[in-house]
């Protein structure tokens, strides 16, 4: 349960869209669908998986990706900054869209 102001637009989501920038990645491969990493959004630390992306990227490139929380839905808002990592792969970005869970399920 969460207590929040009605003006604060945060929603419990399983999937969300983000604009990401890849800071560091192994030189021999590209980031692609199915990649899993730990994401940090405000106080959230959870594993996510890339389920859709515009194109494969490597170090220093940007892309819009759709991410899915692996363990459980969490509360995020559009405009939140994020950081992700997996081993030596690191990146950052911004949440630009969310897929709300219908209130009938909650």
Q: What are 17-52's pLDDT values in tens digits?
A: 999 999 998 877 888 999 999 999 999 999 999 999
CB-based contact 37:85 (threshold 8 Å)? yes
Half-sphere exposure of 13 (CA within 13 A, CB side): 21
pTM here is 0.84
pLDDT tens string 43-72? 999 999 999 998 999 999 999 999 999 999
Nearest to 18 by CA among 45, 59, 50, 46: 50
């Amino acid at each position: 349960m969460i207590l929040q102001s009605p003006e604060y637009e945060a929603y419990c989501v399983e999937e969300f869209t983000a604009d990401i920038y890849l800071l560091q990645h192994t030189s021999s491969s590209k980031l692609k669908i199915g990649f899993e990493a730990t994401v940090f959004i405000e106080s959230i630390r959870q594993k996510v998986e890339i389920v859709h992306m515009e194109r494969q990227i490597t170090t220093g490139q940007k892309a819009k990706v759709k991410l899915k929380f692996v363990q459980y839905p969490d509360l995020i808002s559009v405009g939140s900054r994020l950081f992700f990592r997996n081993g030596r792969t690191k990146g950052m970005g911004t949440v630009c869209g969310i897929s709300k869970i219908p209130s009938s399920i909650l």
